[in-house]
Amino acid sequence: MSIATGQATVMAGITRKRRGILSRIIAHRTDYLYVLPALIVMLVVIAFPIYYTIELSFFRTPPNLQMRDKIWTGFSNYSTVLNSSVFHEVTIQTIIWTLASTFFAFLLGLGAALALHREFVGRGLLRALLLIPYVISAVAASYVWKWLYHSDFGVIGALAVQLGITSEPINFLDNRQTVLASLIVVNIWKEFSFAMVMLMAGLQTVPDQLHRAAQVDGANTWDRFWHVTFPHLKGVSMVTILLLMVANFNSFIIPFVMTGGGPADASHIWITHIYQLAFGRQQWGVASAYAVILFIVMMAFGYFYVKALTRGDEDRAGG
């Protein structure tokens, strides 16, 4: 940088040697003061809960959560979780929910981003309209879709009958076969435009010259997408897919508000099940053990997440 900063650094180095640690921190490490408020908030609301969840997972705690009456139970909460049949069922549902939602949301988002990449009249308006589901509250979305799926007056069921697809309205949400898929549709509706926006931003980084060069070389639309556009989108796609997976894995509102996990646990995913164990059945220890297992799974996500993000940083520094 400039000479002025170089001098300032040298001067700071000299004075630093003369003073004690505390005054040095006050005089020179004002940088910490900027981060301190954020740090305190995050510590109270993150570090503490993580510690507490781990502690709770080794105890049996009375329903009223009076902590002085808790009883040490070792790993029994963990074995309760891992051995329950509901856990296995819910795990499969969580995997289906997460993968299906992510796959279709990404696919629709990618299609929309590619189709919206060309300039045309009303493009901005269209993008805004497609983004509305993403910004409105999941509670509102849940009620709207609950009404659309309604077994007696639902418009989807009625439409299916009028078009001759089914003979009578399907009870989408009260049927073990259809409930999870019905919720996944709502989830895709809610979040595909997130992928769309991310990928649209990614598309802007694809150099136009490359496309034209490929065109001169006789590459068709598909070839140009696969060999020019797609490699450029790899980084963004990675981050988008990871964010979608994390968000879906952590979904709560749509299943909770629309079905509460029912019928007969058929639409429970990990998060809603943990909530039910804790605040529904007051099994605080078991729910905490469940949450700790979830933490461990999330750490794996986190590893890839940070890796994807820092790799992006290196690319940027290189380019």
Partner 1 sequence: MAVISENVIRPVVKKPIDWWRWAGRAFLTFLLLFTVLPMAWMVLTSVKSQFAAMQYPPQWWPTEPTLNNYFKLLDPNSRVGSEFLRYFWNSFYVSLLTTILGVVVAVPAAYAFSRFRFPGRNFMFFAVLVRNMFPAVVFLMPLFLLMRWMGLINTHGSLILTYLTFGLPLSIWLLKGFYDNIPIQLEQAARIDGATRFQAFLLIVMPLSTPGIIATSIFSFIGAWNEYVYAYTFLSRDSQMTLPVGIQRFFTEFATDWPGLMAATFMMSVPVVVLFLVLQKYFVRALTEGAVKH
- 306 lines the binding site for partner 1 (CB under 8 A): yes
Stretch that binds partner 1, among 74-82, 94-102, 175-183, 187-195 (CB under 8 A): 187-195
In the stretch 20-39, what mask flags binding to partner 1 with x, by CB under 8 A? ---------xxxxxxx-xxx
Chain Cα centroid distance, residue 108 = 17
Q: Could you give the CA distance from residue 36 to residue 5 in angstroms, rounded to a whole number? A: 25
Min. distance of Cβ 246 from partner 1 in angstroms?
A: 5
Kindly tell me which of 176 and 226 has the beta carbon lying closer to partner 1.
226
Min. distance of Cβ 38 from partner 1 in angstroms?
A: 4
Kindly tell me which of 53 and 180 has the beta carbon lying closer to partner 1.
53
Q: Could you give the CA distance from residue 110 to residue 190 in angstroms, rounded to a whole number? A: 15
Taking CB under 8 A as the criterion, which residues in 163-182 touch partner 1?
A: none
Kindly tell me which of 143 and 176 has the beta carbon lying closer to partner 1.
143
Q: Which of 11, 12, 26, 65 binds partner 1 (CB under 8 A)?
A: 65
- 217 lines the binding site for partner 1 (CB under 8 A): no
Kindly tell me which of 96 and 257 has the beta carbon lying closer to partner 1.
257
In the stretch 117-156, what mask flags binding to partner 1 with x, by CB under 8 A? -x-------x-xxxxxx-xxxxxx--xxx-xx-x-xx-x-
How many residues make contact with partner 1 (CB under 8 A)? 107
Stretch that binds partner 1, among 15-23, 73-81, 172-180, 246-254 (CB under 8 A): 246-254
Min. distance of Cβ 153 from partner 1 in angstroms?
A: 6
Backbone dihedral region for residue 170 (phi beyond 0: left; psi -120 to 50: alpha; all else: beta): beta
- 314 lines the binding site for partner 1 (CB under 8 A): no
Taking CB under 8 A as the criterion, which residues in 79-108 touch partner 1?
A: 108
Stretch that binds partner 1, among 79-87, 88-96, 233-241, 258-266 (CB under 8 A): 233-241
59-60 and 71-72 beta bridge pairing: antiparallel
Nearest 5°: CA angle at 247, between 90 and 290?
40
Kindly tell me which of 176 and 281 has the beta carbon lying closer to partner 1.
281
Taking CB under 8 A as the criterion, which residues in 250-289 touch partner 1?
A: 250, 252-253, 257, 271-272, 274-275, 278-279, 284, 287-288
Kindly tell me which of 267 and 272 has the beta carbon lying closer to partner 1.
272
Q: Could you give the CA distance from residue 185 to residue 104 in angstroms, rounded to a whole number? A: 9
